[in-house]
Chains A and B, each alone.
Chain A
Amino acid sequence: MPETTAPRDAAPSGTVPAPARATTTVQGAVPAIEFQGVVKRFGDNTVLDGLDFSVAKGDRVTLIGPSGSGKTTILRLLMTLEEADGGIILVDGDPYTHEIRGGKRVEVPEKRRRAVRRRVGMVFQQFNLFPNMSVLENIIEAPMHVLGLTRAQATVRAEELLDQVGLADKRDARCTQLSGGQQQRVAIARALAMDPEILLLDEVTSALDPEIVADVLGVLREVAETTDITMLIVTHEMQFARDVSNRVLMFDHGRIVEEADPETMFTSPTHERTQEFLRAVLGD
């Protein structure tokens, strides 16, 4: 599908300003996500200080690092739940919240932000299902009111997704009647119902009891295997990171201190901070 919607990929470099910095993606391809000098402060605390990185289409990138290292902030910036104080973020080459025009950093109008945001989906640590709706209503709400599907169309798709996450029989249940693991699987179905090109997974198993973590990760593994959705994953489940991702970024104090494929990262990390972190996480 990306091929048919990618005339901008073929645009001569004269019309599209070349990315300001070298990226790690395949030469010539527009990255799914690109951060250019992104700065994010919370009060006096600078969480991201000129972060550059990019994610190729279809990549599954896991962000690891100690809490407060800026991983979740990156996901929240990509969902526009936070706004960057500096730098720009591109999705498929399109400026997201800010762009450089005439050498100045200016805000992108809300209409264009929305067009970009529509390609991005997110699953939250606390599920955030709408408790006033049934499972099915949670899933069809956005397809109906954002994508403009009819109730019947949205329901067909929702039922497929519920089947995929193993909750076909919970269609009409209230979300509050479901276990945490079930709620999270509904939340995954809800995000997938919007056909995102990019899926952000923010510590999706951290609020779950250990024995049901596997169900949720199983569902996500299947999504990773059967789709080409670009995924950005923040997790403490190192085995999951290893199984699903093809790239791991180690963050510390808002900077990438090490970047490698999961095998290398988890077996022979080179940076001292990574070694410390992995010892602490995998130690017990």
Chain B
Amino acid sequence: MNDVWSWQRAAEALPPILEGFRITLLATVVGTAIAAVLGLLVALVRRSRSRWVTAPVGLAVEFVRSTPLLVQLVFVYLMLPSVPALVVGCVVLGVHYATYMSEVYRAGIDAVPRGQWEAAKALDLPRTRVWRAVVLPQAIRKTLPGLGNYAISMFKETPYLFAISVVEMFTAAQQFGGRTFVYTEALTMVGLLFLLASYPTSLLVRRLENRLA
């Protein structure tokens, strides 16, 4: 029982960990989708000329960004007891990262040359077309690597969902360790799975970055 590594234990730990991995991926994908859409909305709203619009949104963004994700998760989970923990997790992850992604979008929009806006105006394009056909396609191309990196960060922060008892990969390993009193195999596999998923993804993002540069 006191051998350092047991392949048999590893094999026993694998199914619950893989089930946890599924939840981890789900939370990351849904969280990223929420963050990507909400982040864009925030970036657009913050360009409004009205201070009555930009000031409260700016304050909210600052608040979310300046408080820890863990605190936000637990707070929302406890405040909304009737909402399933996984839903709370996805939404809080999404909102938290939306504040970061909105900055990526802002930079992408700012990077669209002034001449593009001027040409659009010279053609008298309506506002919606200027954004949809000219500015956003160019801006979003430039934001993809940044969004990708934040998605990877989010993936690596999903273990925080442990705090609101979502059984993602890390929680699954913890539970397995709790049952068997040995954590080595389970936690090692969790680490390896994180590495296995995030490293190739980050290589992909880097390639994307080079291709779009």
Residues of A bordering B, CB below 8 Å: 79-81, 114, 117-118, 120-122, 124, 126, 128-133, 141-142, 145-146, 187, 190-191, 194
Indicate with 1 or 0, residue by residue over B103-146, a CB within 8 angstroms of chain A CB atoms. Answer: 00000000001011011111111100100011001100100000
B120 to chain A, nearest CB (A): 8
A118–B121 CB distance below 8 A? no
- B133 in contact with A124 (CB, 8 Å): no
Instruction: Provide the residues of chain B in CB contact with A124, threshold 8 Å.
Output: 115, 118-119, 122
Min CB distance A91 to B, Å, is: 13
By the criterion CB–CB under 8 Å, are A132 and B137 in contact?
yes
A-B contact pairs, 16 of them (CB 8 A): A114-B124, A117-B121, A117-B124, A124-B122, A128-B116, A128-B118, A130-B138, A141-B125, A141-B133, A142-B123, A142-B124, A142-B125, A145-B126, A146-B123, A187-B119, A194-B123
Closest beta carbon of chain B to A94's beta carbon, Å = 15
List residues of chain A with CB within 8 A of the CB of B126. 145-146
User: Known contacts A132-B137, A132-B138, A132-B141; is A145 also within 8 Å of B122 by CB?
Assistant: no
Specify which chain A residues have a CB less than 8 angstroms from the CB of B137 in the assembled complex. 132
Q: Kindly state the separation between the CA atoms of A194 and B125 in the bound complex, as whole angstroms.
A: 11
* Cα distance, A80 to B120, chains bound together (Å): 12
Chain B interface residue count, CB cutoff 8 Å, equals 18
Asked whether, in the complex, the Cβ of B119 is within 8 Å of the Cβ of A118, the reply is no
Q: Restricting to B11-57, which residues have a CB under 8 Å from any CB of A? A: none
Name B's interface SS: helix
Q: What chain A residues lie within 8 Å of B141 (beta carbons)?
A: 132
Cross-interface CB contact of A121 among B113, B116, B122, cutoff 8 Å: B122
> What is the bound-complex CA distance between A120 and B82, given in angstroms?
60
Q: For A141, what are the chain B residues with a Cβ–Cβ distance below 8 Å?
A: 123, 125, 129, 133
Please tell me if the beta carbons of A118 and B124 are within 8 angstroms of each other in the complex. Answer: yes
A132-B134, A146-B126 known; A81+B121 contact, CB < 8 A: yes
Assess A130 versus B124: contact at CB under 8 Å? Given A141-B129, A141-B133, A145-B129. Answer: no
- Which of B115, B120, B129, B134 makes the CB contact (< 8 A) with A126? B115
CA distance A129 to B118 in the complex (A): 10
B contact residues around A126 at 8 Å (CB): 115
- Whole-angstrom CA separation of A122 from B118 in the bound complex: 10
Q: How far is the CA of A80 from the CA of B119 in the complex (A)?
A: 11
Cα A132 to Cα B121 in complex, Å, equals 17
- The distance from the CB of A201 to the nearest CB of chain B, in whole angstroms, is 12
Closest to A139 in B: B123
Nearest CB in chain A: distance from B117 CB, A: 9
Complex Cα spacing A120 to B129, Å: 19
Residue of A nearest to B115 (CB): A128
How far apart sit A121 and B119, CA to CA, in the bound complex (Å)?
A: 9
Name the residue on B nearest A194 (C-beta): B123
Residues of B within 8 A of A128 (CB): 113, 115-116, 118-119
- Is B121 within 8 A of A80, CB to CB? yes
- Give chain A residues whose Cβ lies under 8 Å from the Cβ of B129: 141, 145
Q: Are A145 and B125 in contact (CB under 8 A)?
A: yes
A81 to B121, CA, bound (A): 8
How many Å from the CB of B69 to the closest CB on chain A?
35
> A121 contacts which chain B residues (CB < 8 A)?
122-123
The answer to whether A79 and B123 have CB atoms under 8 Å apart is no
